[in-house]
Amino acid sequence: MPQSIHQSNRTQEWHCAGEHILSLGQRTLIMGILNVTPDSFSDGGRFFDVPAAVAHAQAMVAQGADVIDVGAESTKPGACAVEEQEEMRRLKPVLQALGKQILIPISVDTRKASVAQMALDLGVSIVNDVSALQFDAHMGNVVAEARAGVILMHMKGVPFTMQEDCWYEDVVQDVRCFLKDRLHEAEALGIAREQIVLDPGIGFAKKLDQNIALLAQLQVFQEFGRPLVVGVSNKSFIGTLTGKDVTHRLMGTAAAVTTAVLKGANIVRVHEVGDMQDVVRTAEALRDGHVRV
């Protein structure tokens, strides 16, 4: 029997580096996306310049972001890998500036242990690893030693080829088994359970019907007792459903974020923080049957 919404939204803690402890469950947190890349699918090139990146981060904080997730390597379908030194070159000045100007936790979106280590040394609190610690054998040790928060996401293969590998016997159960295995592996590497959140990887090696199935059955992943982060913002499945290009997917994103909140997501990862703040707060009130003070 699936857990009720109220049971699934009991308060949990996410322990991150720098003594940040995020309370999750009663209020859905918003992770604002900051891509310092020339080629990300939604906003590639807009914040590649350091002053523009810093200004956008500050704007997202003002709009109510709880975490800023900074990435310097696009992981959109078909994206080529970025060399380690180039990824660090893009990230370092932005992280140095943000560490002096914003107080909320910062996450680094990377698969590489050396990049994660550099970011953690600059005050980053969370590592968002789309490979769930599989791409770089040293990543687990870096996270464990720093006592950083970590996001373990489901993906098959690598971004360049992942959309060629979308076969599943049962996408929900296959992703469930993957996340269970990665959670246990992370703990075996010395990462405490309270440092870990899970991400079903919407849009990563998934076709339209598979993304919809995962969103419709998010409650399945609550069995692990760890918070869920869900990223649907402006993704291609929304474009397929609506016929809209990436610059016109705000309403489709709002519907997908609402579904994620109603189904038990603890964190939503979004581009448009101000707009999604309204969506999340409304969805929570409808889910809970009352307005949260």
Q: Residues 257-292: pLDDT tens digits?
A: 999 999 999 999 999 999 999 999 999 999 999 887
**C-alpha span between 51 and 255 (Å, rounded):** 32
- The length of the chain is 293
pLDDT tens for residues 207-235?
A: 999 999 999 999 999 999 999 999 999 99
Res 79: pLDDT = 67
Q: Confirm whether 71 is domain-assigned.
A: yes
Range of the domain at 125: 5-288
30: in domain: yes
Nearest-angstrom CA–CA distance, 49 and 51: 6
Question: How far apart (Å, rounded) are the C-alpha atoms in residues 179 and 173?
Answer: 10
**pTM for the predicted model, two decimal places:** 0.91
Q: Which two tokens stand for residue 273?
A: 């923080």
In a domain, 117, yes or no: yes
- 245: in domain: yes
Q: Can you give the CATH number for the domain in which 230 is found?
A: 3.20.20.20
Torsion sign over Cα 262, 33, 165, 246: positive
Q: Considering the domain boundaries, does residue 293 fall inside one?
A: no
Task: At 120, list the tokens.
Answer: 């953690």
Ordered alpha helix ranges (H), 37-83: 50-62
* pLDDT, position 114: 98
Q: Decide if 184 is inside a domain.
A: yes
Catalytic residues: 235, 269
Query: In this structure, which amino acid lies at residue 98?
Result: L
Q: Is 24 helix (H, G, I), strand (E, B) or coil?
A: strand
DSSP-derived 3-state class of residue 130: coil
* 125/122 Cα distance (integer angstroms): 9
Q: How many domains does the chain have?
A: 1
Could you tell me if residue 220 is inside a domain? yes
| CA 287 to mean position of chain CA atoms | 22
